[in-house]
Structure 1
Amino acid sequence: MTSLDAAATIMDADIVETPETEAPEPVAATILDGWSEEQTASFQKDILTFRHRLEDTGLFTDAALIDLLERHPANMLDVCTMGATNDPLYPNKFRTGDFRDASAADLLAAAKAGCIWINARKAMNIHADYNAVLKRMYGDLSEATGNRAFNANGGILISSPVARVPYHFDKTEVILWHVRGQKTVHVWPVSQDFIPDRAVEATLTNMIEDDLPYTAAFEDHSTVLKLQPGQGATWPLNAPHRVDNETFCVSVTTEYSTTESATKNAAMMTNATLRRYFGMNPLYERDGAVARRLKSIAGRVIRKTPLAVNTTGTDMVTFKIDASVEGYVVNVEPFERNF
């Protein structure tokens, strides 16, 4: 769903298998609420919204979130802000923050009051109480859609009223489960006009950034989803999207690999090599099933060789959380993240 989540995977989801403690029984008997046959028919094919009962679990109240932030590993926690459009140093860019001197309560307060975006990566996998709910979420999806069991990662997003995620795409299948607040999601078609293959190929070698080229003219072509608490949304693989908060928001974002996503990512690694080293102009949409399969096999080999150039930049910390200042954000001399 976000730029930093891309660091978790390119080809296949990286699953945390062992929860830290024995899991409690989930509160809700089912997490999906009123899923229909029409939704099953649209799942993974079209833009889709649905209802869920995550709020009923009690795991997303202020007290529960503070408890979560207190026990979540620091190296799996991202606290970010975004540079303004006219910011000379960081225009429209996510900025990594140092949260080590802030309490969990301070972090939640910063998200409510400032321009802070918090991502507790894989929180739904790492912590047993949340993991029990994740299993219910995807168990319900498997039962409703007839799909095989999903191997899903789930992060928890806690974000300020003015937070926004820029125009980007996800390398795996993604579902947004919105729990608290109002959030607007803009989703675009998967086409060369909005997500050119060159841009996708470039992000496959960058584990931090998955932003895409964007112009204001795109706005007339998006589908707009106004999400309320208890609503979820999903869209076709790689569909470009951006997210704007209307209020303080809490959401769960889950990702999972499928045969389609793994095949496409590996095949496009091959296409990136053909474009970079041989001056060719391949397009994934022009390839048939056999060509995609062969390119996928080649791509899995290429990513283990020097041909797969890694363009990932260094994750630099440019601010810290300070509860004593308005907005909670204090700029610091940039340094490489080491926590």
Structure 2
Amino acid sequence: MARWPPQSPPKRSSNLHLVRGRYREALSELIDRYPRSYYGLVHMGASNQRRFWREGEIGDLPGAAVIEAIASGRMWLNLRNVDTVDARYRDLLDSLFGELGDRVPRFSGATSTCGLLISSPNAQVYYHCDLPGQHLWQIEGRKKVYVYPSAPPFVSPENLEDIALFDVEVDMPYASWYDDYAQVFELAPGEMLTWPLNAPHRVENLDCLNVSMTVSFTDETIRRLQKVNLANGLLRHRFGYAAKDRAIAGPAYWSKAILQKALRESSWVRRERKTRRAVDFRLDPSRLGQIVELPVVG
């Protein structure tokens, strides 16, 4: 397999002890009480339909039916910030990063959050990258993860700026030849995968329901890079100025830190993010795995 440039492989771990038995029941109960503002439901197309991406909502379905609908459909449910909704996940995350901090000193100052991904057999997550550091912990099912180099042409500063500004990770350009430079891993229950900061990746589920825990973390360096990405994105899209400097210290950095803080909650940014995340379907309660079309509010 080709490398661009050569790099060490992501780290794997098999030390995750799964809780068996009633975990599906617990997962259903969690979905039952999950706040609408904290989850994302995405419907995607076949593997060659990369641009097919729709966002929807659960509606009144109970959690057990939601899991059945996902198992019968082609979608995934992202329960974001689950450590905020359920304190047990916060305790788990604190324990995990406490151990990481003991073993890897730079993790001692990291802040973290986690989510749960429930996804259909043969579903996919399109080519994208994330601004925070990432871990992926596999709980149920099996999936392939393709990890690409965190450098041009696979990811550009403009890509990172757009993610920071519009809060959408999957609009990145992708070409099939990128796969010649990917590292491919098949995750099974009890395994964890992590990769270099901002490394693009995509996921293909095998023919089974998948449940995974995603962990995002930031330290001071990552936080400063995120501020620079947002400030540079604002300068380029709002003011027509393509900033090349990506320094995370000095006068240029502090000017951008002030700029992004002043504008990140502006009506212009909120409008752009809302436009790009229109909700246009709901799960069909009478045909689990199918969807009901919703009118798009203009």
What TM-score do you get using the length of structure 1 for normalisation?
A: 0.75
1:210 to partner: Cα distance: 4.7
Stretch of structure 1 that moved more, 257-266 or 307-316? 307-316
- Structure 1 residue 106 corresponds to structure 2 residue 65: yes
1:75 to partner: Cα distance: 2.0
Q: For 1:316-327, what aligned pairs fall within 5 Å after superposition?
A: 316-325=278-287, 327=289
Q: What amino acid is the match of 1:318?
A: D
- Segments of 4+ in structure 1 off by > 6 A? none
Q: 1:293 aligns with which of 225, 249, 263?
A: 249
- What SS is found at the alignment partner of 2:196? coil
From the superposition, tell whether residues 333 and 74 of structure 1 become closer, same or farther in structure 2 (CA, over 3 Å): same
From the superposition, tell whether residues 67 and 274 of structure 1 become closer, same or farther in structure 2 (CA, over 3 Å): closer
- What SS is found at the alignment partner of 2:203? strand
What TM-score do you get using the length of structure 2 for normalisation?
A: 0.84
Q: Is the contact between residue 47 and residue 124 of structure 2 (CA under 8 Å) also seen in structure 1?
A: no
1-structure distance, mates of 2:63, 2:55: 17
Post-superposition CA distance 1:205-255 (Å, at most 9, x none): 112445311111211111101111110011111111111111211110011
Q: What is the aligned length?
A: 282
- What SS is found at the alignment partner of 2:257? helix
Q: Is the contact between residue 275 and residue 282 of structure 1 (CA under 8 Å) also seen in structure 2?
A: no
Gap regions ≥5 residues in structure 2: 1-7
1-structure distance, mates of 2:170, 2:291: 24
1:49 to partner: Cα distance: 1.4
Stretch of structure 1 that moved more, 104-113 or 308-317? 308-317
From the superposition, tell whether residues 108 and 46 of structure 1 become closer, same or farther in structure 2 (CA, over 3 Å): same
Q: For 1:139-288, what aligned pairs fall within 5 Å after superposition?
A: 139-146=98-105, 147-246=107-206, 247-272=208-233, 277=239, 280=242, 282=244, 284=246
- 2:5: which partner in 1? none
From the superposition, tell whether residues 60 and 253 of structure 1 become closer, same or farther in structure 2 (CA, over 3 Å): farther
Post-superposition CA distance 1:60-96 (Å, at most 9, x none): 8211111111222222122221145787xxx633312
From the superposition, tell whether residues 302 and 108 of structure 1 become closer, same or farther in structure 2 (CA, over 3 Å): same
Q: What amino acid is the match of 1:293?
A: A
Q: What amino acid is the match of 1:187?
A: V
- Structure 1 residue 81 corresponds to structure 2 residue 43: yes
Q: 1:72 aligns with which of 16, 28, 34?
A: 34
Q: Is the contact between residue 266 and residue 298 of structure 1 (CA under 8 Å) also seen in structure 2?
A: no
2-structure distance, mates of 1:332, 1:273: 32
- 2:93: which partner in 1? 134
- 2:4: which partner in 1? none
